[in-house]
Amino acid sequence: MSDEHTLADGTAPGRPGRGALVLGGALALVLLASVGATVGWLLADPAPSGTTPAAAASTTVSPSRSTVPAPAAPTTTRPAGPRTTSPAPSRTSSDLTVPALLGTDFEKARDELRNRKLSWRLVFGTGSGRDVVRTDPAPGTPVSRGTTVQVYVAGPAPQVEVPDLVDDDCADVAEDLGERGLYPRYPTGRTGTVTAQVPAGGATARWNDQVAVSCGPEQD
């Protein structure tokens, strides 16, 4: 014989009835559905409650007039033309020029330069003759007063007689010697009268030679 008893609903005592199992299963399904819905909502909207997303909170602010840069003024570009340089005003050429002296006797050439207020320096050569073969500066070159012109002579310096200068005024010695193609030298100064000279008066010298002139108080 079996010790089990069957209840009125057909279930054995101590075991849950079929209705209870069905009801429990339904409650479990409802509970799971609620939990799933809650979890899905949380995953879909992670932002905490009462907090507006940053994208929604941002607003567009119109820029103020002071921050808007003013339109740049239009620039006019001129085509670059060729650069020109005004020529410097040329210096006015002097009316004084070196005369044409080639083929001229050197003494006449010297006189011509002296008349033009120019200085001269005779450079004698080793050939023959007294003619000028070249000048420096060249003929026609504009010069100023006092310019020294070198005159090149074909032949050697000719001989000249030394003048007697004793008792002459030392201030006049240079001119007297220059007429003969000689140059003074002043070992004792240039004031007073000539007390001595070397070479002595009457001696023979050559053009461009020097004469030593001693000057001092006038002798009685």
Residue 1 lies in a domain: no
The backbone torsions φ and ψ at residue 135, rounded to the nearest 5 degrees and listed phi first, read: -130, 150
Residue 19 lies in a domain: no
pLDDT at residue 218, as a whole number: 74
Whether residue 178 is found in the same domain as residue 193 = yes
Whether residue 165 is found in the same domain as residue 184 = yes
Q: Across the chain, which distance is largest between two alpha carbons, in Å?
A: 201
pLDDT at residue 201, as a whole number: 95
Q: Which of 110, 213, 218, 103 is nearest to 165 (CA)?
A: 213
Q: How many domains does the chain have?
A: 2
How confident is the chain (220 residues) per 10-residue block, as mean pLDDT? 46 51 53 50 46 44 48 52 42 75 97 95 96 97 96 97 95 93 94 96 96 86
Q: Which residues contact 213 (CB under 8 A, 6 or more apart)?
A: 165, 170, 173, 184, 185, 186, 187, 194, 196, 197
Q: Which domain holds residue 128?
A: 106-153
Q: Which of 152, 163, 168 is nearest to 203 (CA)?
A: 163
Q: Which residues contact 101 (CB under 8 A, 6 or more apart)?
A: 109, 112, 113, 132, 135, 139, 151
pLDDT at residue 25, as a whole number: 55
Q: Which of 178, 133, 129 is nearest to 152 (CA)?
A: 133
pTM for the structure as a whole: 0.54
pLDDT at residue 191, as a whole number: 93
Whether residue 163 is found in the same domain as residue 186 = yes
Whether residue 149 is found in the same domain as residue 132 = yes
User: Running DSSP on this structure, what letter comes out for residue 105?
Assistant: B
Q: Which residues contact 214 (CB under 8 A, 6 or more apart)?
A: 187, 188, 194, 195, 196, 197
Whether residue 206 is found in the same domain as residue 177 = yes
Whether residue 144 is found in the same domain as residue 192 = no
Residue 10 lies in a domain: no
Whether residue 163 is found in the same domain as residue 210 = yes
pLDDT at residue 130, as a whole number: 97
Residue 129 lies in a domain: yes
- CATH number of the domain where residue 201 is located: 3.30.10.20
